[in-house]
């Protein structure tokens, strides 16, 4: 389990990094935390000819709160830092979900941008991004574009990134007024990818009526999945146990789990209802 040979480039600036990627295209991969890419290289399932190492790029790891409440996270911000960062703390679901992502030693190295670019459908953070309605800024030597998280994930391990593009920044809008969030998953062991996981956001008004809801699942299909019908069904309710059960039921129907070594699709579907109900209760309580 030793990686195949490659050429290694360590750009110091974003521009340099983008120029290298433009030059080498599909031949090259960005190396972020390496916590998904290097295992794949050690197994030789990935054999990139060129690595463009982002670890020495300046200015790609900032975590900032903007005036309108948007949280901006640079792609190279390490997961351990995002987990602890006070600014990112305005979105407690980030730390709550990151806590389930691997182990501290992996999070010390792995980056949020790398995690999202890897686009593992079992991964927690893509689902969180969907629930938070985040937007991603993609950059290339040609320029920049941004897109909603929901458009970024196309298929397992496949994103909307063009061969010359980098995920540069994650932009998370302020939560709606009166919002509460929760992340919950069922995994075999701590730190494993989830058999089923859900990121939930619900908002309530002063009268205790739900004004907004977003449920997004991981390990529920080929990409992270929103459950629009379950989410819509909650708006206007008071999230009574019956409302939650009805939404969980819808969610169970909306997910498209593919099954894995650890879980049959039927069990995963069942779990979708379980975690949805539990996360909704928790998020609603937090919204109070």
Partner 1 sequence: MSRIPVTVTVNGVAHRREVEPRLLLSDFLRHELGLTGTHVGCEHGVCGACTIRLDGAPVRSCLIFAVQADGHAIATVEGLAPTRGTLSVLQQAFQDAHGLQCGYCTPGILMTVSAFLEETPDPSEEEVRHALSGNLCRCTGYQHIVDAVLLAARRLREAR
Partner 2 sequence: METRHIGRPLTRNEDPRLLTGRALFVDDVELPGMLHAAFLRSPHAHAEIRAVDTAAAKARAGVLAVITADDLGEYWKPGPLLVPPPPIAGMTFRQRCQVPLAKGVVRHLGEPIVMVVAESRYVAEDALGDIVVDYAPLPVVGDLEAAVAPASPRVHPDLPDNIAAEVVQRKGDYAAARARAAHVIRRRFLYDRGASIPMETRGIVAAWDGKADRLTVWDTTQAPVVIRNGLAAMLGLSERQVRVIAPFIGGGFGPKMMMFYPEEVLVPWIALRLERPVKWIEDRLEHFTATTHERGQIHEAEIALDAEGRVLGVRDEFLMDTGAYNPYGLTVPLNSQCTLLNCYDIAAYESRFRAVYTNRTLVTPYRGAGRQHGVFVMERLMDAAARVVGLDRIEIRRRNLIPPDRFPYRNEIIFQDFAPLTYDSGNYAPILGKALDAIGYDRFVAEEQPKARAEGRHLGLGLVMYVEGTGIGPYEGAKVRVQSSGKVTLATGIGTQGQGHFTAFAQVVAEQLGVDPRDVEVTTGDTDQFDWGVGTFASRGAVVAGAATHGAATAVRAKILKAAAEHFECAEADLVLEEGKVSIAGVPERHITLGALAQLANPLRGAVKPGTEPGLEATSYFGPEMGATAAGAHAMVIELDAETMRPTILRYVVVHDCGTVLNPLILAGQVQGGVAQGIGNAFFEQLAWTEDGQLLNASLADYLIPTALDVPRMEVLHTETPSPLNPLGTKGAGEGGAIPVGALFAQAIEDALDLPARGIEVTEIPLSPSRLWEIAHGDG
Ligand X SMILES: Cc1cc2nc3c(=O)[nH]c(=O)nc-3n(C[C@H](O)[C@H](O)[C@H](O)COP(=O)(O)OP(=O)(O)OC[C@H]3O[C@@H](n4cnc5c(N)ncnc54)[C@H](O)[C@@H]3O)c2cc1C
Q: Residue 214: enclosing H or E segment and its boundaries?
A: strand 210-218
Give the residue from 216, 3, 16, 40 showing the smallest Cα distance to 118: 40
SS3 per residue for 162-173: CCCCEEEEEEEC
Contact flag: residue 102 with ligand X (CB under 6 A): yes
Among 27, 192, 205, 285, which residue interacts with partner 2 (rule: CB under 8 A)? 192
Among 67, 86, 189, 288, which residue interacts with partner 2 (rule: CB under 8 A)? 189
Give Cβ neighbours of residue 261 (< 8 Å, ≥ 6 apart): none
Candidate ranges 19-27, 144-152, 166-174, 187-195; the one touching partner 2 (CB under 8 A): 187-195
**How far apart are alpha carbons 72 and 13 in whole angstroms?**
19
Contact flag: residue 124 with ligand X (CB under 6 A): yes
Residues that bind partner 1 (CB under 8 A): 1-8, 34-35, 38-39, 41-43, 51, 53, 55, 80, 102-106, 108-109, 189-191
> Which CB atom, from 161 or from 215, has the smaller least distance to ligand X?
161
Under 8 Å between Cβ of 137 and 168: yes
**How far apart are alpha carbons 61 and 127 in whole angstroms?**
21
> What are the residues binding ligand X (CB under 6 A)?
29-37, 39, 75, 101-102, 106, 110-111, 113-115, 117-118, 120, 123-125, 161, 166-167, 191-193
Residues that bind partner 2 (CB under 8 A): 1-5, 43-44, 186, 188-193, 195, 261-264, 266-267, 270-271, 274
């Amino acid at each position: 389990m030793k990686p195949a040979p490659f050429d290694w480039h360590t750009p110091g600036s974003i521009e340099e990094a983008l120029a290298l990627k433009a030059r080498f295209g599909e031949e090259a991969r960005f190396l972020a935390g390496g916590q998904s890419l290097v295992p794949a290289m050690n197994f030789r399932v990935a054999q990139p000819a060129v690595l463009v190492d982002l670890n020495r790029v300046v200015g790609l790891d900032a975590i900032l709160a903007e005036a309108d409440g948007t949280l901006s996270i640079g792609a190279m911000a390490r997961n351990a830092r995002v987990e602890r960062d006070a600014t990112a703390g305005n979105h407690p679901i980030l730390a709550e979900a990151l806590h389930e992502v691997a182990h501290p030693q992996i999070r010390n190295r792995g980056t949020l941008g790398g995690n999202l670019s890897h686009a593992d459908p079992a991964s927690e953070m893509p689902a969180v991004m969907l629930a938070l309605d985040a937007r991603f800024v993609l950059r290339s030597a040609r320029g920049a574009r941004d897109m909603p998280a929901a458009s970024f994930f196309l298929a397992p391990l496949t994103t909307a990134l063009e061969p010359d593009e980098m995920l540069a920044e994650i932009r998370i809008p302020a939560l709606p007024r009166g919002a509460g969030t929760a992340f919950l998953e069922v995994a075999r062991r701590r730190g494993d990818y989830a058999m089923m996981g859900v990121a939930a956001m619900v908002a309530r008004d002063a009268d205790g009526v739900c004004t907004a809801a977003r449920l997004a699942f991981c390990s529920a299909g080929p990409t992270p999945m929103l459950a629009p019908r379950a989410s819509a069904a909650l708006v206007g309710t008071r999230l009574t146990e019956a409302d939650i059960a009805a939404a969980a039921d819808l969610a169970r129907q909306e997910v498209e789990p593919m099954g894995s070594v650890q879980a049959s699709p039927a069990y995963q579907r069942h779990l979708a209802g379980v975690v949805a109900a539990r996360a909704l209760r928790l998020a609603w309580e937090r919204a109070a």
